[in-house]
Structure 1
Amino acid sequence: MVESELLALLHHQAPDAVIFAGTDGVIQAWNPAAESRFGIPASEAIGRGLNISIPPRFRDAHWAACDRALAAGDIHYRGRALATRAPGRVVQSFRSR
């Protein structure tokens, strides 16, 4: 199995929601656990902005933190699990590069 196939398999089978987005905030990958947690199929999430997974009251703070991280070249929470909210539930998210 080549590395790209292994990574795809890990992403698909991960028990936690795994979402990849570019620096523009557009979702590039959304795994089955993200589908379950957020109630949005990958076919609808990919190509849309991260705001579909961020409650409105947290969006300003989220984007301000993203802007700071991009400017600094690193994130404050590297390697730490963070609680975040999906519509109607609390889920864990893992922020890393």
Structure 2
Amino acid sequence: MQIDREQAGSDVVLKVTGRLDTPNAKPFETSLLDAVSGSEGAITVDLAGVDYVSSSGLRALLVAGKAMRTAKRDLTLRSLQPQIREVFDISGFSTLFEIK
């Protein structure tokens, strides 16, 4: 898995490539929480390069989403592959996040 971080003013875009599975979930969560604590604006997670998400990857997003809601900031997901969007829809996660 690879995570590239782009700063756009006070906002952050994290571009994720690879699998969000159990071995990668903790580094992904750490990158998300670093973005939460290291910026003041919105965070967008670009998942165009992700072809698999496990429950561990979903959990990492939940942790970051909770931190962003507490901070009254926006966390947006974008560019989900169809099979990833299906996982979000089936699990109910598509109701928890703004998805573009």
Tell whether the structures are fold-level matches, with TM greater than 0.5. no
The TM-score, its normalising length taken from structure 1, stands at 0.27
Q: Which has the higher contact order (CA 8 A, sep 6+)?
A: 2
Larger radius of gyration: 1
The TM-score, its normalising length taken from structure 2, stands at 0.26
